[in-house]
């Protein structure tokens, strides 16, 4: 876990013994369950730490993350980026949604084992849950590492964000192309591009872009 210590140091995150123990236990439980349920193709420790843990927390220093109280992770899969962020920010409330119940059952066991009380799991399709008034436009921040085109992700994610909130999409080098293709959808859903940030750490081969979209107004189609 030395690489995680180094990443925490560069990101100015307090690396207490307790939090490092929880990250290790989280990894061990995911890999144990991976023998029964397909959670990740990454099984080697250093790669797991880099591509799941460090990748998930690269945005931890963003003001959009720091200032948010209620966060939703759409298409969480094995809990990324929601659980790593929830471990770092225990005072924030995280809602993790996924369409695969088995994965969420595993995550429930993991968060209970880790003693996490700031994480809620919901088994649902994002497009269905976003129509529910209990969740529609109720979150300060939506994050997603889901493998989908930005245009598709916007339809899933931006409806959860309240006016003034943000959506952060984890992307790779193709981010600019996807943004151009999604311009019409961003506007239609009441959003605007707030920037694209390239996050990297010294000594780590990570080429990641974070597409930040600000929700400027409520989605008028919801109120027709």
Alpha-carbon gap, residue 21 to 156, rounded angstroms:
34
Helix (H), strand (E) at residue 72: strand 70-74
Residues of the chain with pLDDT under 70: 218-224
Q: What is 62-223's CATH topology?
A: Rossmann fold (3.40.50)
- pLDDT tens digits, 61-99: 999 999 999 999 999 999 999 999 999 999 999 999 999
Q: SS3 breakdown of the chain: % helix, strand, coil, rounded to 5?
A: 45, 20, 35
Query: How many Å apart are CA 183 and CA 211, to the nearest integer?
Result: 12
pLDDT for 112 equals 98
Query: Sign of the CA dihedral 183, 186, 188, 190?
Result: negative
């Amino acid at each position: 876990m030395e690489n995680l210590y180094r990443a925490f140091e560069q990101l100015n995150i307090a690396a207490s013994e307790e939090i490092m123990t929880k990250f290790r236990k989280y990894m061990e439980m995911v890999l144990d369950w991976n023998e029964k349920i397909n959670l990740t193709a990454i099984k080697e420790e250093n790669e797991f730490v880099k591509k799941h843990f460090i990748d998930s927390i690269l945005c931890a220093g963003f003001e959009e993350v720091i200032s948010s109280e209620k966060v939703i992770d759409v298409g969480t899969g094995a809990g990324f980026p929601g659980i790593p962020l929830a471990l770092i920010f225990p005072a924030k409330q995280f809602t993790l949604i996924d369409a695969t119940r088995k994965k969420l059952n595993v995550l429930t066991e993991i968060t209970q084992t880790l003693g996490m009380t700031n994480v809620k799991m919901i088994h649902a399709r994002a497009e269905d849950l976003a129509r529910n008034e209990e969740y529609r436009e109720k979150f300060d921040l939506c994050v997603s590492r889901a493998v989908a085109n930005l245009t598709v992700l916007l339809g899933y994610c931006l409806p959860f964000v309240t006016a003034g909130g943000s959506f952060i999409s984890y992307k790779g080098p193709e981010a600019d192309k996807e943004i151009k293709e999604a311009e019409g959808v961003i506007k239609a859903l009441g959003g605007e591009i707030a920037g694209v940030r390239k996050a990297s750490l010294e000594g780590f081969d990570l080429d990641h872009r974070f597409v930040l979209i600000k929700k400027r107004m409520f989605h008028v189609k919801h109120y027709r």
